[in-house]
């Protein structure tokens, strides 16, 4: 079934309204019309099955016949990927794949050994990355469009540690603690009083190609970040985040 994202204000109690690009796509490209059934997502985790009415000039409306939580979401986890800025167009692949793997938000950051920096037009970059997140969310049938936030510095990232239940740094020079052991520790010690129906907020920090400077790793630890090893092999920056995301999915 064809599925479309709409803004929450396009959804009323019993009907939805679609205009703009999606209207053209539905009526001109897919040639859907009266009594055809589509699926619509409000981008906030709710999906609707909708039976279309006859299209108007610029808008098509439809009747909501059922509503259900988007199947592409895992409501128990909310993972933000803090990604050290990689070279070239790698960030695009990282965004696409992490959206497929269920990421909640992606925040690029610059650090000492980052080769690439966003010097000019950061908003243009974000706009492009957000578009990639939208396409990937559509393709993978997510219930939200993960936000791509403006680049930060590692310092800024560390200021936000308190907002997460668990903040992990994948650190190539960590020899002792594996991700598996860190998650087991967290489960043992995590606050039992945490509201059961609230998502677990996890931040994952991945270094750029050049990795982390020991001082940066020390600053992360001092801020309450848990440094973990992903094993003996050194993974490329675009691989490391995906490994953590899939392991977190396996865990919850
Ligand atoms: N240049 C570094 C490697 C950087 S890899 C070196 O040669 O040592 C890029 C990023 O991926 C790292 O900063 C880290 O966040 C993550 N990463 C890659 N392999 C990892 C591993 N085995 N354990 C933990 N993190 C890893």
Tell how far the Cα of 176 is from the centroid of ligand 1, in angstroms. 15
State whether 53 and 108 are in the same domain: no
Whether 62 lines ligand 1, by a CB cut-off of 6 Å, is no
State whether 209 and 164 are in the same domain: yes
End-of-domain residue from the set 18, 50, 69: 69
Tell how far the Cα of 90 is from the centroid of ligand 1, in angstroms. 15
State whether 103 and 193 are in the same domain: yes
136-170 per-residue burial string, b: 16 or more CB within 10 A, e: under 16: bbeeeebbbbbebbebbebeebbeeeeebebbbbb
Whether 206 lines ligand 1, by a CB cut-off of 6 Å, is yes
State whether 52 and 89 are in the same domain: no
What span, in angstroms and rounded, lies between the C-alpha atoms of 10 and 227?
44
Beta bridge partners of 77: 200
Could you report the per-residue pLDDT of 68-85, keeping only the tens digit for each?
999 999 989 999 999 999
State whether 63 and 115 are in the same domain: no
Query: Looking at ligand 1, which atom is closest to the CA of residue 233?
Result: 22
- The preferred substitution site among 207, 216, 221, 242 for testing ligand 1, maximizing ligand atoms within 8 Å of CB, is 207
Tell how far the Cα of 235 is from the centroid of ligand 1, in angstroms. 6
Q: What is the pLDDT of residue 205?
A: 98
Question: From residue 64, how far is each of 40, 50, 155 by CA, in Å?
Answer: 9, 4, 47
Tell how far the Cα of 227 is from the centroid of ligand 1, in angstroms. 12
Whether 230 lines ligand 1, by a CB cut-off of 6 Å, is yes
Whether 207 lines ligand 1, by a CB cut-off of 6 Å, is yes
What span, in angstroms and rounded, lies between the C-alpha atoms of 45 and 70?
5
Tell how far the Cα of 78 is from the centroid of ligand 1, in angstroms. 23
State whether 58 and 129 are in the same domain: no
- Whichever domain contains 97, its CATH number is 3.40.1280.10
Number of domains the chain is built from: 2
State whether 113 and 206 are in the same domain: yes
What span, in angstroms and rounded, lies between the C-alpha atoms of 117 and 110?
7
pTM: 0.93
Q: Residue 90: how many CB atoms within 10 A of its CB?
A: 17
Closest CA to ligand 1's atom 11:
237
Q: What is the pLDDT of residue 28?
A: 95
Question: Which domain covers residue 99, as residue numbers?
Answer: 77-251
State whether 127 and 207 are in the same domain: yes
- Whichever domain contains 65, its CATH number is 2.40.240.20
184 Cβ partners below 8 Å, 6+ apart?
A: none
Q: Residue 121: how many CB atoms within 10 A of its CB?
A: 10
State whether 37 and 141 are in the same domain: no
State whether 106 and 134 are in the same domain: yes
State whether 106 and 206 are in the same domain: yes
What span, in angstroms and rounded, lies between the C-alpha atoms of 78 and 68?
19
Give me the average pLDDT of each 10-residue run along the chain (252 residues): 93 94 96 97 96 96 97 94 94 98 96 77 89 97 96 93 96 94 90 71 97 96 97 97 96 87
State whether 129 and 19 are in the same domain: no
């Amino acid at each position: 079934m064809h599925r479309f994202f709409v803004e929450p204000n396009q959804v009323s109690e019993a009907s939805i309204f679609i205009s703009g690009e999606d209207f053209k796509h539905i009526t001109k490209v897919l040639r859907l019309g009266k009594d055809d059934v589509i699926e619509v997502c409000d981008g906030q985790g709710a999906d609707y099955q909708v039976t279309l009415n006859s299209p108007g000039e610029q808008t098509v409306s439809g009747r909501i016949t059922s509503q259900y939580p988007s199947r592409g979401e895992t409501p128990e986890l909310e993972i933000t990927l803090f990604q050290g800025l990689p070279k070239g167009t790698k960030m695009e692949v990282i965004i696409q794949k992490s959206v497929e793997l269920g990421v909640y938000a992606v925040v690029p950051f610059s650090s000492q050994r980052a080769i690439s920096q966003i010097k000019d037009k950061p908003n243009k970059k974000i706009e492009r990355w957000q578009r990639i997140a939208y396409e990937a969310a559509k393709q993978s049938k997510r219930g939200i469009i993960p936000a791509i936030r403006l680049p930060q510095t590692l310092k800024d990232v560390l200021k936000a540690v308190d907002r997460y239940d668990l903040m992990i740094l994948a650190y190539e020079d960590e020899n002792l603690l594996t991700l598996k052991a860190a998650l087991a520790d967290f489960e043992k010690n995590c606050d039992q009083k945490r509201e059961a129906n609230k998502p677990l907020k996890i931040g994952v920090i991945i270094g750029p190609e050049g990795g982390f400077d020991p001082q940066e790793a020390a600053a992360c630890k001092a801020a309450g970040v848990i440094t973990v090893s992903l094993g003996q092999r050194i993974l490329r920056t675009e691989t490391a985040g995906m490994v953590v995301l899939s392991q977190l999915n396996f865990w919850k």
